[in-house]
Chain A
Amino acid sequence: MNKTQGLARLFKALANHSELIEKAYYEGVIYKDSKNQRALNQLKQMKVLVGHGVDGYRISGRLGQFVDSALSSDRLRRLDTDLASWVDTLEQQILLYQGAWDENRINDAENYSAEIERVIFELADNLEENTSYLLMLINSRFANVRTLQEKKKQNEFYISRVELLVQAISSLRPEYLLEMVDDHPALYLLLEEQLMRLLPIYHQRLQDILDKLKTFLFELRKIEARAQLVQGFSFFLRQNPGYEMQDWTEQDNLPEQWNQIKPLQLSISANTQDYAVETELVNIVQKLRVDSDALLTKKRKQKINKVAVVDREIQVMELPLYRKWLRRYFYLLEQQQGHAVSALSFQKKYVHDIEPALWLGCVLNEWLRQQQRHTNIKMEFIQFASHAAFTGNKKVKDIVLCWRSE
């Protein structure tokens, strides 16, 4: 796939899945289900989305930044690559968030929390990219030069890159940061999962980089060309997880190495007419286990069980109370097609024996059950206003159902 095709494919995917991208941008995360799983995977492969938790995806840092600037968002934008200063920004944003939270400035707190989320994601993306890229360069290029002049230039480049990374990682004080957000579980979880849990991996990569630097700082080395091919290819595949090689078997002149036969299944049978091998065949047959004894054993006659017809009393099971009321509620909906009926108002009017929360649960279950048979009933949640940031919870205070009129 050439660059033009790749770009066309990217734009097409962005257009086709704009709703998913929009949701990820505005809500911070989008979770996969049976309908969007394929599209989310494709967007992840194109680096439009990145993984977030087990089943979630978030918008990639750079695309988020682009959308911010395109929409002239007033979100804080940092375009420099000084990772260590990002950590300072993160700490400042947490303090601002706490202040807003304490003073009950809900809107401000939401804005700060969104900013914290973005800085964490950007930091995580940058640390991942920078450490893996530098490790790959160190492994496949460092010290593999001819002159000391080139070596000197290389040393400066690598040392400066390592310094930047060390500064960034050292300035991340895990205990301090986690303690700062101790009272905010959603933020705590975000920091822990997206940044702190990955620190040992970044540390290890830096250690590996340092080991190579120490070994070859004053020495030249010869890296095998094939090793460079493997390392470069591996890095390319990590950057392009959706890459698929061309189908070279479609070419008129098939490249030599793909010409390989389909494995044949070989099997043989004994020639029983060949007297020369008679003795060997007899020996083989004699070694076979014969189960004829078992086959010849007379089968015992099975006893026939007598079956007597017993008249059983038919018991009529009474419908549980909640089912009776559900039946009435849904019957009412059908009677009043086109009119929305609140589940809670119905409960208040008729169903005095069931708690409102329990009743809403029953209505929701029944609606879901009926959805499997038909989609005539439209459902709407009436929610409490959300206060807590990042919980992702919705608190429903009523359910309104309406039987669509034909």
Chain B
Amino acid sequence: MFESLVKRLLQGEFICEVTDEAGFQYLQDQENLFQIEDYLQRINYRLASTQNKLAFYAAYMEIDNTARQDIRKIFQQFRLELHPVVEWLDMMMACLKQDTSLSPGDTLALSSLLQVIENNQALADRLQAFAKFKDFTSNEDSVKGRLEKLLNTLHKWGYLQLANRDTLIYQVTGKLDYFYQSLQFIQENEEIPVEQGEEEQTQENLF
């Protein structure tokens, strides 16, 4: 277990209960955790975890110029993911009619989502709008094709894991905990106005 976990961490993977249940349980044991941390430290890395400890990943121990360059590349990918992932999370709440956003471990069945979206023009329109994002353009012109593309890309980005290949049931991974943490950080530090008041909406003039 030690060997496979170290390899996966070095390959930049997030280890959570969904992507690697045995590995995640292994890391719950303090002794094992120390061993992994000790090994990573020898090569100037360290073990990091998301805010709610739902996923583990490898981070740099010291951030020198080379490390900063590498981090910049990872960050650029996150920038690319921000808009479509937020849109996906919001859309899933509308599809599932929930007052909670998706959490690691939640399941999404392609067939159920398809049924909801096909019967709701506004949701179908939102799904179609994903085509404006890089990595979401699809040659398929059907709702099913677009939905498959959406879930496949999120799977490729590590936010979803295919739990059942036959019934196409996906499971949300621990990487989403990392995403929420980053979203919260951006909102607080860039002062994004996410609180909308319930007063009469009076749009002011442009000038």
Q: Which residues of A approach B to under 8 Å, CB–CB? A: 60, 62-63, 66, 81, 129-130, 133, 136-137, 139-141, 144, 154, 157, 200-201, 203-205, 208, 211, 221-224, 226-237, 243-249, 254-266
Contact of A261 among B59, B83, B178 (CB under 8 A): B59
Report how far A81 CA is from B59 CA in the complex, Å: 53
Q: Which residues of B approach A to under 8 Å, CB–CB? A: 7, 10-13, 45, 48, 50, 57-60, 63, 68, 70-75, 78-79, 82-83, 86-87, 89-90, 93-94, 97-101, 120-123, 125, 178, 180-187, 189-190, 192-196, 198, 201-203, 205-207
- Inter-chain contact B100/A227, CB cutoff 8 Å: yes
Given contacts A141-B198, A246-B186, A249-B68, 17 further A-B contacts (CB under 8 A): A129-B203, A154-B198, A157-B198, A201-B121, A208-B120, A221-B99, A223-B99, A234-B89, A235-B194, A245-B79, A245-B82, A258-B182, A260-B59, A261-B70, A262-B70, A262-B74, A263-B13
In the bound complex, residues from chain A placing their C-beta under 8 Å from that of B59 are: 259-261
In the bound complex, residues from chain B placing their C-beta under 8 Å from that of A260 are: 12, 48, 57-59, 71, 74
In the bound complex, residues from chain A placing their C-beta under 8 Å from that of B192 are: 232-233, 236
In the bound complex, residues from chain A placing their C-beta under 8 Å from that of B184 are: 229
On whether A258 and B195 interact (CB within 8 A), knowing A66-B205, A224-B99, the answer reads no
- Inter-chain contact A263/B99, CB cutoff 8 Å: no
- Inter-chain contact B89/A230, CB cutoff 8 Å: yes
Report how far A24 CA is from B120 CA in the complex, Å: 34
B19 to A: closest C-beta gap in Å: 14
In the bound complex, residues from chain A placing their C-beta under 8 Å from that of B83 are: 237, 243
Between-chain CB contacts (< 8 Å), 29 pairs: A62-B206, A66-B205, A130-B201, A133-B201, A139-B93, A201-B121, A204-B120, A204-B122, A211-B97, A224-B101, A228-B195, A230-B89, A230-B93, A230-B183, A231-B90, A233-B86, A233-B90, A236-B193, A236-B194, A245-B82, A245-B190, A248-B189, A256-B48, A257-B182, A260-B57, A261-B57, A262-B71, A262-B73, A262-B74
On whether A259 and B71 interact (CB within 8 A), knowing A66-B207, A224-B100, A226-B180, the answer reads yes
- Inter-chain contact B93/A258, CB cutoff 8 Å: no
Can you list the 4 inter-chain pairs with the closest CB atoms, starting with the nearest? A232-B194, A263-B12, A262-B70, A234-B90
Report how far A144 CA is from B120 CA in the complex, Å: 25
- Inter-chain contact A234/B58, CB cutoff 8 Å: no
- Inter-chain contact A226/B100, CB cutoff 8 Å: yes
Q: Which residue of chain B lies nearest to A154 when distances are taken between CB atoms in the complex?
A: B198
Contact of B93 among A141, A227, A243 (CB under 8 A): A227
On whether A266 and B201 interact (CB within 8 A), knowing A140-B196, A259-B59, A261-B70, the answer reads no
- Inter-chain contact A232/B196, CB cutoff 8 Å: yes
- Inter-chain contact B79/A261, CB cutoff 8 Å: no
In the bound complex, residues from chain A placing their C-beta under 8 Å from that of B182 are: 257-258
A42 to B: closest C-beta gap in Å: 15
A248 to B: closest C-beta gap in Å: 7
Instruction: Tell me which of A133, A232, A257 has the highest count of chain B C-beta atoms within 10 A of its own C-beta.
Output: A257
- Inter-chain contact A66/B206, CB cutoff 8 Å: yes
In the bound complex, residues from chain A placing their C-beta under 8 Å from that of B70 are: 261-262
Report how far A232 CA is from B90 CA in the complex, Å: 9
In the bound complex, residues from chain A placing their C-beta under 8 Å from that of B87 are: 234, 237
In the bound complex, residues from chain B placing their C-beta under 8 Å from that of A233 are: 86, 90, 183, 187, 192, 194
In the bound complex, residues from chain A placing their C-beta under 8 Å from that of B10 are: 261, 263-264, 266
Contact of B90 among A157, A208, A230, A243 (CB under 8 A): A230
- Inter-chain contact A258/B71, CB cutoff 8 Å: yes
Report how far A254 CA is from B62 CA in the complex, Å: 11
A47 to B: closest C-beta gap in Å: 8
Report how far A259 CA is from B93 CA in the complex, Å: 30
A367 to B: closest C-beta gap in Å: 37
Report how far A222 CA is from B99 CA in the complex, Å: 7
B81 to A: closest C-beta gap in Å: 11
- Inter-chain contact A234/B75, CB cutoff 8 Å: no
Report how far A255 CA is from B182 CA in the complex, Å: 9
- Inter-chain contact B183/A229, CB cutoff 8 Å: yes
Report how far A154 CA is from B99 CA in the complex, Å: 18
Contact of A264 among B12, B123, B183, B205 (CB under 8 A): B12
- Inter-chain contact A249/B121, CB cutoff 8 Å: no
B201 to A: closest C-beta gap in Å: 6
On whether A257 and B181 interact (CB within 8 A), knowing A62-B206, A248-B75, the answer reads yes
A122 to B: closest C-beta gap in Å: 12
- Inter-chain contact A205/B196, CB cutoff 8 Å: no
In the bound complex, residues from chain B placing their C-beta under 8 Å from that of A256 are: 48
- Inter-chain contact A200/B71, CB cutoff 8 Å: no
B179 to A: closest C-beta gap in Å: 10
In the bound complex, residues from chain B placing their C-beta under 8 Å from that of A81 are: 202
A260 to B: closest C-beta gap in Å: 5
